[in-house]
């Protein structure tokens, strides 16, 4: 069936927001979502915050508000559960608005993975599967910073929170039935801790695509360039790729040029970058090339020998079987990369760092016996 037009209240003045936050005090469960734009900026540009207590659905306009403390106090109240779907970027938007993340957290996408409904399931699909409601998708890519918002945008935005309470009730009950509620709560706390700890510039190289095959010496250059790019992107509030595209960064790492003519040979490196930052890039590369070996980053991956490949395949099959037994999405338990790192680290000390995520918390409870006996 098609969802009917949801009722909602538009909040565009500081006094209104403060009144609503006072009114919502003591509410056991709050559902939230955000709309934002992130096309030409480093930071997300908050465009709308949707908040629901199950009866009232608020569309809060960050473009007209300036006093966020009442909402920050509301959303960090430890007695009120905050329900999101796929919370990652929403938590970042909240940090941008009021320098805090909502807690405690219930992410319906993660909860669905804990009860056998699949990994990274979308909101529309989950609503249709569990509640029998078909939602429209037409406004997902619209310009949320443009004012006034259209009726269609408001309808779409309200729908993004109006069903979260029902999803939470269904999923919470199923988590209890499966015996996974404690594990889920531990995962939510881990998510919040990661959201509260931003990635440091010197750690950015770890998130580069195609960086796994690089040697330690190359990773030292990648670490230096990625850290500079991060600082520059934040300073100028530009996407990382606008400052230095990944392909250009990786070409710089592999070629390690030592003069401006060498920089000119990097196809993805725009002439304006060479003009404004060429000397800086050359200095960073030169300094990274002279780093002592013991200060260079360890390899991100190690080539597996035939025995390790066979062991990895057995371990993947065992973890997949355990996931089926537990009704948990296998991707949530462990990634192939983590299992590969585990195989290498446990068979050749110092060759790779053992994945911490598998060695602690609920994941070790779930598959620790497979890791230690394989």
Note whether 270 and 244 are within 8 A (CB). Answer: no
- For the record, the structure tokens of 208 come out as 């580069």
Catalytic residue among 35, 61, 107, 218, which?
35
The 8-class DSSP code of residue 210 comes to T
DSSP lists the bridge partners of residue 36 as: 46
Catalytic residue among 53, 61, 77, 90, which?
90
Note whether 263 and 274 are within 8 A (CB). Answer: yes
Q: Is 33 a catalytic residue?
A: yes
The 8-class DSSP code of residue 202 comes to G
Q: Is 90 a catalytic residue?
A: yes
Q: Is 35 a catalytic residue?
A: yes
d(CA 203, CA 230): 10
Catalytic residue among 61, 92, 139, 160, which?
160
d(CA 156, CA 242): 31
Catalytic residue among 61, 92, 123, 156, which?
156
Number of H helices, E strands in the chain: 18, 6
SS3 11: strand
Q: Is 160 a catalytic residue?
A: yes
- Beta strand pairing call for 9-11 and 81-84: unpaired
Active centre residues (catalytic): 33, 35, 90, 156, 160
């Amino acid at each position: 069936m098609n969802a009917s037009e949801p009722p909602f209240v538009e909040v565009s003045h500081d006094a209104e927001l403060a009144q609503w936050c006072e009114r919502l005090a003591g509410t056991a469960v709050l559902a939230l979502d955000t709309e934002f734009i992130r096309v030409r900026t480093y930071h997300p540009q908050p465009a709308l915050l949707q908040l629901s207590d199950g009866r009232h659905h608020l569309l809060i306009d960050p473009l007209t508000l300036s006093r966020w403390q009442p909402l920050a106090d509301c959303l960090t109240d430890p007695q009120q559960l905050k329900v999101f779907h796929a919370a990652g970027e929403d938590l970042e938007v909240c940090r941008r608005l009021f320098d805090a993340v909502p807690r405690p957290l219930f992410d319906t996408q993660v909860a669905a993975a804990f009860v056998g409904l699949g990994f990274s399931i979308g909101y529309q699909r989950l609503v249709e599967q569990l509640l029998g409601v078909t939602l429209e998708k037409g406004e997902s890519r619209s310009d949320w910073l443009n004012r006034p918002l259209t009726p269609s945008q408001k309808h779409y935005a309200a729908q993004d929170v109006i069903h979260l309470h029902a999803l939470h009730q269904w999923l919470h009950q199923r988590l209890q039935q499966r015996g996974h509620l404690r594990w889920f709560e531990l995962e939510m706390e881990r998510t919040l801790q990661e959201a509260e700890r931003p990635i440091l510039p010197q750690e950015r190289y770890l998130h580069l695509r195609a960086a796994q095959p690089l040697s330690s010496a190359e990773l030292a250059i990648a670490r230096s360039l990625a850290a500079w790019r991060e600082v520059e992107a934040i300073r100028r509030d530009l996407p990382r790729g606008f400052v230095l595209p990944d392909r250009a960064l990786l070409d710089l790492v592999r070629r390690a040029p030592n003069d401006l003519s060498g920089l000119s040979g990097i196809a993805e490196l725009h002439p304006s970058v060479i003009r404004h930052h060429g000397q800086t890039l050359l200095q960073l590369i030169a300094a990274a090339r002279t780093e002592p070996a013991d200060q260079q980053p360890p390899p991100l991956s190690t080539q597996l020998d035939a025995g390790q490949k066979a062991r990895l395949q057995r371990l993947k099959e065992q973890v997949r079987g355990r996931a089926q037994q537990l009704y948990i999405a296998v991707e949530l338990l462990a990634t192939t990369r983590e299992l590969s790192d585990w195989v290498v680290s446990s068979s050749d000390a110092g060759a790779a760092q053992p994945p911490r995520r598998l060695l602690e918390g609920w994941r070790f409870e779930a598959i620790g016996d497979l890791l230690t006996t394989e």
